[in-house]
Structure 1
């Protein structure tokens, strides 16, 4: 287990609209094509499951998931580059999976850029299975990139 996971200042809580600026700071550091503040605001407004990890008072990771009709969809999961490789994304995804179970979802879905080998390894280690591809789903510097679709039966 890594240092950040044992840090007594690490806390998880539901995200609030007042966290949007901090979310955007991390989002823009992590993605060439980040979500907008409006997308996060809408996610909170419609009641999506939105959790954030805070180290001391600084947001270091977050996840957004929708649940409806027995299906959960992980829409965004992100950790600050400064804390990557310490198990935070795993814990965050496990939290979302548990939230999906509590809401009687029978399957969790997500998609990931085909080039994101680290995330793919994480998803597979947590029991997600590849179920398909979406050709040209994501914008990329050189055109478009495929998304790999994953599912995990609960």
Structure 2
């Protein structure tokens, strides 16, 4: 009886905990679906393709799908668009960090719920919470780089 209960409980926990980092497929926007397709892609310095991305190359890859042209480096990307307060972030905004001690050196795409997608040197393309202690200490700014029409296209359900 005890083994049966433990087995049943284990199965229920396994099924209940099967959620994705991003929303269920039916709830995902075109943007988060595009990001989901490359999560796990390895980090590659200077990389801009699905064979490997650096942080700004990952951003270029995603935004090229929406015909949004951005500069190549995270530093240059941080000068694009309009500044956004951290408490006003919306999906598709770019977030920037000082990870080198020399100004903006890392970037990602805000995906909602306090999370951003980026290509890290250790994990490749991954999802991280903005309040993660490492990134919270190094947060510099955020920029909104798309028009309202492009934003609407990015948010369409897939």
Structure-1-length-normalised TM-score: 0.31
Query: Which of these two proteins has the greater Rg computed from alpha carbons?
Result: 2
> Which structure carries more relative contact order (alpha carbon 8 Å, separation 6+)?
2
Bigger proportion of residues as strand: 1
